[in-house]
Amino acid sequence: MEKKNEITERHQPEDCALGTLAMDDKKLVRKIDWHILPIMFLTYFLQMIDKISINYANVMGLQDDLGMSGNDFSWLATAFFIAYALAEIPQAALLQRFPVSKVLGTNVLCWGIILCCSSATKNYAGMLALRILLGLMEAVIAPSLTLYTSMWYTRAESTPRYGFWYCGLGVGQIIGGLISFAAQHAPAGLSFGGWRIMFVVIGAFNVLISLLVLFVLPETPVKAKFLNEEEKQRIFQRLRQDQAGVGVKVFRWRSVLEAFADLQTWMLVLLTILITIPSGVITTFSAILIKGFGYGSMESALLNMPSGVVSIASTMISTYAISKGFSRWLAIDILLIPTLVGSCLMSFLPAENKGGCLAGIYLVNTTVAPLALIYAWTGANFKGYTMKVSGMAIVSAGFSIANIIGPQTFQAKDAPRYLPAKTTLVAANAAAIVVSTGLRIMYGVRNSAADRLGGPARSHMEARQAHKGTVQDVHDDENFRYVY
């Protein structure tokens, strides 16, 4: 069913001969890839570097330099994601009103400046304020990249592209470890210590990349200078046939209501929370956990790098498999199995078993890949521009809520093993498998009902609006089916 809806139906015989069309489409997609994917990858890579910079700074003397104690560090992580959650709606409003690339680029510029300023902080209050500002800016990243991807690619093509830019997370873990290792070689006794140098370097690179986003990344396919008119028309035609387009960029309160009233939204939010709690814990606390196994600060930075390799491999393999017809829900369930095993190793092995504990941390990093699949689900199964923006904002809020919960499971009194936090990882992963399977059942029921009635697959709220004769955001074609 999924393969038919996503791949077969976009090649209609009325356009031209199938063989020629397929070859032309491959060239067109490749051309788009080369022009937009590297920049999208860099933006996601940079926001990941920004997030884990505090992780590495923690083992480089941040707490001592700023006079922190108790749960202060946990609150740095929590405050960032509280701001991240609160900013989702305002950022979604900006994405609705202004071009995606301009909103994204402006935020990248701002968070680069904020990170540079972080190097000059003298106390905990100053760092806390800057982490809050950083959270406000970085809230735009997932909604903007998800929306931007759906402007260019069909649903079948989108998933591996989500996977590609999402691999910025894994690369960020690897490069972040190298940056931390290099910064720790700064001469001792400097007032401008290693973690401060790290913040300046990362922040300056953010500012440079923001210029690429603002001035090189096209606002829309129509404004892409690297495409000719025929290619622009073909992009529009392919998205219309696939029912994958974002629709007319007009704000509709009804679409916001449909997003909030749709059961899939809240199941995706719950799944995001359950998956992100382990992911957020590893992102923020992996270096300190590794240090707790008896390693030094420099060793902790280097030993955290294989986590990035696991993230990249799990993301690319799963998104590629889905592009070849593998089920999304099953891919998520399979990815959560090594995560569950890793959580158990971290939780129940004695700290003296360094190899087993390290293996546990590395395995838990497979949990980052399902989040890319959730982004792909959101981009594929929400209709129209407003509903896509709203759905992605709500799901991203779930991401930040999970990251608020995760750091608070790490309490100073539980150091150095942090057993309650590790046990939380086990429970969250097990529950995520149940929710993912539930989503597949729900989508299957909706598609079966659409097959029976001979219309498009809809949520309960969308069906009610259709019975009232309300005009839809996009062509409500009877061929639309949820992908799972």
Mean of the per-residue pLDDT values for the chain?
Answer: 79
Task: Read off the pLDDT of each residue in 365-371 and give the average, rounded to a whole number.
Answer: 84
Rounded Cα–Cα distance for residues 255 and 324 (Å) = 31
Query: In this structure, what DSSP letter does residue 154 have?
Result: -
pLDDT (0 to 100) of residue 427: 83
- Token readout for 220 is 């829309």
Decide: helix, strand or coil at residue 225.
coil
Residue 280 pLDDT class (50, 70, 90 cuts): low
Task: Read off the pLDDT of each residue in 173-180 and give the average, rounded to a whole number.
Answer: 78
pLDDT (0 to 100) of residue 6: 35
Rounded Cα–Cα distance for residues 380 and 465 (Å) = 21
Residue 251, C-beta contacts closer than 8 angstroms, at least 6 positions apart: 96, 97, 386
At position 268, the amino acid (one-letter code) is L
471: pLDDT strictly greater than 60: no
Rounded Cα–Cα distance for residues 464 and 169 (Å) = 40
For 285-312, b where at least 16 C-beta lie within 10 A, e where not — what string?
bbbbbbbbbebebbebbebbbbbbebbb
Q: Give 224-243 pLDDT, tens digit per residue.
A: 999 888 888 888 888 877 76
Contact criterion met (CB below 8 Å) for 112 and 133 = no
Q: What is the pTM of this model?
A: 0.76
pLDDT (0 to 100) of residue 61: 78
Residue 452, C-beta contacts closer than 8 angstroms, at least 6 positions apart: none
Of the listed ranges 42-46, 244-248, 459-463, the one predicted with least confidence: 244-248
Q: Give 240-251 pLDDT, tens digit per residue.
A: 777 655 555 566
pLDDT (0 to 100) of residue 245: 53
Contact criterion met (CB below 8 Å) for 283 and 402 = no
Q: Is 480 left (phi over 0), alpha (psi -120 to 50) or beta?
A: beta
Domain ranges of the chain: 2-467
Q: CATH second-level architecture of 2-467? A: Up-down Bundle (1.20)
The candidate with the shortest Cα–Cα distance to 354, out of 310, 442, 289, is 289
Residue 13 pLDDT class (50, 70, 90 cuts): very low
pLDDT (0 to 100) of residue 362: 86
Residue 5 pLDDT class (50, 70, 90 cuts): very low
pLDDT (0 to 100) of residue 110: 93
Angle at 380 between CA 386 and CA 246, to 5 degrees: 35
Residue that has been written with the tokens 């894994």 in this structure: 170
Alpha helix (H) ranges present in 349-418? 354-364, 369-381, 385-408
Residue that has been written with the tokens 């996977």 in this structure: 163
Contact criterion met (CB below 8 Å) for 34 and 122 = no
Task: Read off the pLDDT of each residue in 308-318 and give the average, rounded to a whole number.
Answer: 88
In percent, the amount of the chain with pLDDT more than 90 equals: 15
More confident residue, 299 or 434: 434
User: How far, in whole angstroms, is CA 406 from its chain's centroid?
Assistant: 17
Residue that has been written with the tokens 């046990």 in this structure: 423
Length reported for the chain = 484
Question: What is the secondary structure of 283-296 as a DSSP string?
Answer: HHHHHHHHHHTT--
